[in-house]
Amino acid sequence: MSNKEIEDLKTLIKALDIRFRNEELSQEEYDDLKAKYEAKLNEEISLVKEKSFLKNMSYISISGSGKVTDSYIKISGAGRVDGWKGGSIAISGSGKISDEEIKVSGSASLPGNLQTHTLKASGSVKADGPIETTIFKCSGSCNIKGDLIAHETFVISGSGKITADVKAGDISSSGVLGVSGEIQCVNAELNGGYKIGGNVNCQESFISEINAKCSINGDLICGGDVHIEQSTHRGQLQVDQILAEGDIYLEGVSARYVRGKTVKLGPDCQVENVEEKG
């Protein structure tokens, strides 16, 4: 039952009192109905409290303005929440925290082993451990000390640093991206600058427009097409091998070996060996 339905029950009890005062109900009818309504109300309040994500909270502090309900916490100013899924969240600016979603405008410090459906941040985000979400979007900067899993979407606009692996559906990065481990995804679009510590494995496509010195400290493996171009002559990508099932077009790429259905080398490429599967 929702909070609205609980309020409706309270309204019904008040209406019952009015009917009794207007002598529309006998004492016996009034007592019987009120006992039933109050029992139902108490039962539903207990269920809401049992399901409330607030039940495990050990500490909530808000400096400024905010709102706390059974389903979310809203902060405007600065706030801290301890005990949310076993961790602590600190927000400076504004934000909303619920079981399904965390939204931040400003800055946030998040706990490790964080699991939520959607994480959206405008500003900066720091997390002490791995994060698992369905949707991860950050406009500004993020620093994740551990793996990042985004089952559907991982979007960085600004700068991102992940000290382990990234596993995602679709990845989109514009700015600067640093991943200490490897990337596994369906599609990747990496624009700007990036440094990847391991392999990049894309099931379908890899697209990149580079404007800085980029590196993949391993192989770029793709189940579809690979398209890498320079936005300026400063854009350079160092990678060991590029292995694609589809067509490959490269600019500003240095590689030991490139293999694809077709391979076309544009400006500023240094590739030792090329193989076309036709």
| pLDDT given at position 213 | 95
Q: Do 68 and 201 sit in the same domain of this protein?
A: yes
29 and 162 together in one domain:
no
- Reply yes or no on whether the pLDDT at 227 is more than 90: yes
What per-residue confidence (pLDDT) applies to 1?
45
Q: pLDDT higher for 59 or 164?
A: 164
Residues 157 and 232 in one domain: yes
Judge if 18 and 78 occupy the same domain: no
Q: Domain ends where: 11, 26, 51?
A: 51
CB 120 within 8 A of CB 98: no
Give me the chain's average pLDDT, please. Answer: 90
More confident: 10 or 272 = 272
222 and 240: one domain? yes
Out of 82-96, 151-165, 172-186, 256-270, least confident range: 82-96
My answer on whether 91 and 11 are in the same domain is no
The two tokens of residue 41 are: 């109300």
Specify whether 151 is located in the same domain as 262.
yes
Same domain, 126 and 214: yes
The answer on pLDDT for 88 being more than 80 is yes
For the chain, the domain total comes to 2
- Give the tokens for residue 179: 């991943």
Q: Kindly tell me if the per-residue pLDDT of 81 is higher than 90.
A: no
User: Average of pLDDT values for 139-146?
Assistant: 94
Taking only the tens place, the pLDDT of each residue in 30-40 is 888 888 888 88
Burial of 46 (0-12, 13-18, 19+ CB in 10 A): exposed
Q: Are residues 30 and 95 in the same domain?
A: no
Long-range contacts of 179-186 (CB under 8 A, 24+ apart): 181/147, 182/218, 185/154
Q: In this predicted structure, what is the pLDDT of residue 42?
A: 79
Residues 20 and 81 in one domain: no
The tally of CA atoms less than 13 A away on the side-chain side of residue 242 is 36
Residues 199 and 142 reside in one and the same domain: yes
Q: Are residues 190 and 146 in the same domain?
A: yes
What mean pLDDT do residues 83-107 have? 88
Cβ-contact 208, 228 below 8 angstroms: yes
The predicted structure's pLDDT at residue 46: 67
State the average pLDDT over residues 229-244.
94
Q: Which residue range(s) make up the domain with 195?
A: 57-276
DSSP-assigned letter for residue 276: E
What's the mean pLDDT in 59-73?
A: 83
